Structure 1
């Protein structure tokens, strides 16, 4: 069966490990069903654990620093956002003859009609988020009901949950009593040997989290995830009613994760841990000759736009240098020498620029700027990233090799130094055209 429609479903701040396929406590029957029909990429990471930079990668196939969007606009005075001059996945589908429609959160800093989307209904932050997301879904369902099934459709439905403000969403919350929520094994991390800013951030009012608050937020988080899962079911039902599901490429993913008590932290930003970077990526492609339905290869969401295009039978433009991971499911095993690269620049907890090289067994973090800290984690022996072993003499070779690899990647992708990114020219490059997502995000940037 040749795919006709492409459906992109995006959650916000959804950890990979909270899928029902990974967590027996989670209740995500619709996403579990999608995984059974397609491919579950369990080693997918976001390029940057902040909303706007990651979403730029999801549109362009570029790392945030390649697109000039290192932080959520507004942080530290940066006004960089997704420029309409960039090639986006929406533009490619539109130009190839697909109808393009986008419902929900964008947070890209520019009206979506200039980014390739012909039918747009954005929704901003209001409380409760569950009500906003039901409206997003209703808009998308209404559009599908009126769409001609013979016309190829690229549909994006982008929800706000389980992003803060956390809420207990009925009736799902009855399954997640706060007193029964499991505390992460790394909660009591002493942070000894790690960059000092981590302890400083955990001491901030919104950085660390006590056990009572954590249990309550975990309960809310699980219920919000179950609510999103139910909305996935609503979108599926609308597509099935129009005969558009079976021949549709469908991807469910998120822009980043959340600490959720890991290492004693809450929320996101300025930290290199997998809880923030590892994201769900569940893909259904009709007719794909699959060797593995669970792909644990290390991947980065710079490959997301190219993967959708390849799944629809379209060529991946050279400008989308992130490529595609579609072929990973058609291979019997991961590549022999896996290494992916991640980045971070700044968040509401401050300026902490770093770049990451991650292999299956090692994570190396190279901070750049005023204090060039380094971190090295032996993921085979220490999957929780509790002990920074960068100073061990017997690991000097591993440290040097990963440092070489991440520096070569940074330079080959036109990565610069802190002075460049903090210069007025760079910080202000988008000021003339920046809009606040049609005034939806103007007052909400500091909550991201």
Structure 2
């Protein structure tokens, strides 16, 4: 038994000195952009060192592939269907976009238990800012780098750095030959003037303050550093824009997806992002630029890690790297993220190093972004059960088998630009996606890992489809996602009763 900072006790099989947490999160980050996770052409030495000397999870999934709901899940430890923060503030139709002020958050819990708690960078969880939830607030508003932010502009002036300006804009073409979205551009700034450098400097400043409190008084800290990139558009200085040779880029297998037999909204998204208006060579360059963006962020992460090393806190600090969701970057002829539940945007990087605990290795266990919340609680000596929808991965990082660990994972989507309901069950061998307004999807990942061929209506998969649907239905009911589950019960040919979420007087009459 060990004491936490309030004197409460609980089982904690973690070295007593390991009390601090450093979480580094990126936005819209594909797993295949990182060297230690399989990309031989990536320039990610810092993340590679973290992964090669720590523990990497190859099957980590975001609860939903959109910024605000995913980040709200991290803060609250709850699934989107439970916390009900279901859309980004930008382009939102009707959903709630603020974490309620009375919501439980891990930041408030840590603060109440004597921690320094801070969030630097992207927050994107609505108008109720981190200071309302026990955290020091060094965050900035926006879905993309907020380069007009007054603090950033002042920082540029203080350091005699040039303001933001760009040229060589890469944009597609919309119907009617109208200019489409800007995907990439060259910054007329050195790396030292980028918003990424600004965020890293802010993070290092906050880390210095927390490290001093830790050394002087033993006050532990939890610091989240959230970069806005590599979210598009990719605005980079020349050295990073041209870092990766496009000839080293192999177009993804699903780049040529016809989208035939799939929900029509996917083709609409391909049109929205003008993905077909770029040639194959142009796409190789765009992907190379995206990898260059990852490399530039890796460089800034290195500066933060160097500062932590110089401050002498790494032996006392659990370090995690992850992302809120992935990005298509041409996969399935789409860009950004959206109403399609492919691994390109749902599978996210997750690397952990817990001093004195983590072995060096890999795990293909199904883990969720919400498990990070439970893990932070575990490291703090607090009860991970306060995170209702996550589990601590501490024992997994030892390389241990954890009894009762999930054998599959369920994800959800509620819309972006417009409300649209989707639910997904991902197993080792299959993926089932239920689209309430359109075509359902089933992918046999054993022979089709790129998720190209929808076999939902193929007769040979009938039994498999029914079993997967039953399992998804069971988990949706268990999660409290009753409305979608009821819809499934009417739409899928499996043997489950059509039940209402609450009995009515009419139910009583019928049952009698």
Please point out which of 400, 403, 418 is paired with 2:466.
400
Structure 1 CA distance for aligned equivalents of residues 238 and 44 of structure 2: 15
Structure 2 residue 307 is the aligned partner of structure 1 residue 234: no
Partner in structure 2 of residue 141 of structure 1: 204
* Aligned match for 1:116, one of 134, 141, 144: 134
CA shift for structure 1 position 173: 3.5
Task: State whether residues 55 and 358 of structure 2, in contact with CA within 8 Å, keep that contact through their aligned partners in structure 1.
Answer: no
Separation of aligned partners in 2, 1:405 and 1:208 = 37
Shift of 1:367: 1.4
Whether 2:17 is the aligned partner of 1:17: answer no
Structure 1 residue 328 displacement after superposition: 2.2
**What CA deviation, in whole Å up to 9, does each residue of 1:238-279 have, x standing for no partner?**
111111112100011100000011111111111111000111
Per-residue deviation, 1:14: 0.7
The CA deviation at 1:209 is 5.5
> CA contact under 8 A between 1:103 and 1:156: conserved in structure 2?
yes
Unpaired runs of 5+ residues, structure 2, are: 1-14, 148-163, 165-186, 487-512
Contact 2:259 2:266 in 1 (8 A): yes
CA-based RMSD: 2.3
Q: 1:168 to 1:126 in 2, by over 3 A?
A: same
CA distance in 2, matches of 1:184, 1:97: 47
Separation in 2 of the partners of 1:17 and 1:325? Answer: 22
Q: 2:47 is matched with which residue: 31, 39, 53?
A: 31
Q: Does 1:53 align with 2:69?
A: yes
Is 2:86 aligned against 1:70?
yes
The corresponding residue for 1:344 is 413
Distance across 2 between alignment mates of 1:169 and 1:34: 26
Q: List aligned pairs for 1:157-196, cutoff 5 A.
A: 157-196=225-264
CA-to-aligned-CA distance 1:383-408 (integer Å, 9 cap, x gap): 00011111122221211111111122
Matched, 1:4 2:30: no
Deviations 1:118-138 (A, max 9, x none): 353435433469722211111
Larger of the two Rg values belongs to structure: 2
Which of 107, 119, 126 is the aligned partner of 1:102?
119
- Match among 243, 258, 263 for residue 327 of structure 2: 258
SS at match of 1:76: coil
Taking structure 1 as the reference length, the TM-score comes to: 0.87
Q: Structure 1: 5+ residue runs without aligned partners?
A: 421-448
Corresponding residue SS for 1:156: strand
**Contact in 2 for aligned 1:169/1:220 (Cα 8 Å):** no
Higher relative contact order (CA 8 A, sep 6+): 1
Distance 2:220 2:406 in 1: 38
Deviation at 1:332, TM superposition (A): 4.5
Question: How many angstroms does 1:193 deviate by?
Answer: 1.7
| Aligned counterparts of 2:204 and 2:21: Cα–Cα separation in 1 | 15
Give runs of aligned pairs for residues 81-92 of structure 1, distance below 5 A. 81-92=98-109
Q: Deviations over 1:152-211 (max 9, x none)?
A: 111111111101121234433443133543211111111222122222322334455523
Question: Secondary structure of the residue that 1:47 maps to in structure 2?
Answer: coil
Residue of structure 2 equivalent to 1:355: 423
Q: 2:62, 2:254 → 1: CA distance?
A: 22
Tell me which residue corresponds to 1:442: none
Residue of structure 2 in register with 1:444 after alignment = none
What's the CA shift for 1:336?
8.6
- In the alignment, the residues of structure 2 paired with residue 111 and residue 337 of structure 1 have an alpha-carbon distance, to the nearest angstrom, of 33
Q: What is the TM-score with the length of structure 2 in the denominator?
A: 0.76
Quickly say closer, same or farther: Cα 1:238–1:88, change in 2 above 3 A: same
Matched, 1:203 2:271: yes
SS at match of 1:203: helix
